[in-house]
Amino acid sequence: MSTHAEIDSKLLEILVEPGTRSPLNYDKERQLLISEQTKLAYPIRDGIPIMLADEAVHVDDL
């Protein structure tokens, strides 16, 4: 059984896609923050969003 660290709801409200500053959608099951505008997904590891371009994955590659 996989458990995920909870992300603070206030943090989710202020996080944006780093390049475009567009909103992000939280995918709790896959532990990703997804930008619909850029089609990039940023991982969340141990409850910490990794908002680095080198860590982002294109949603088509998921």
For residue range 32-60, what is the model confidence (pLDDT) as tens digits? Answer: 999 999 999 999 999 999 999 999 999 99
Residue 3 in domain: no
Task: Print the domain residue range for 46.
Answer: 9-61
- Quick check: 4 pLDDT over 90? no
- Whole-model pTM: value is 0.88
Asked whether residue 2 is domain-assigned, the answer is: no
Predicted confidence (pLDDT) per residue in 6-31, tens digit: 888 899 999 999 999 999 999 999 99
Structural domain count of the chain: 1
CA 54 to chain centre: 13
3-state secondary structure the chain: CCCCCCCCHHHHHHCECCCCCCECEEECCCCEEEECCCCEEEEEECCEECCCHHHCEEHHHC
Pick 57 or 1 by higher pLDDT. 57
55 falls within a domain: yes
Q: The domain that contains 45 carries what CATH number?
A: 2.20.25.10
Asked, for residue 49, whether it belongs to a domain, the answer is yes
Q: Are 54 and 13 in contact (CB under 8 A)?
A: no
Per-residue confidence (pLDDT) for residue 5, from 0 to 100: 77
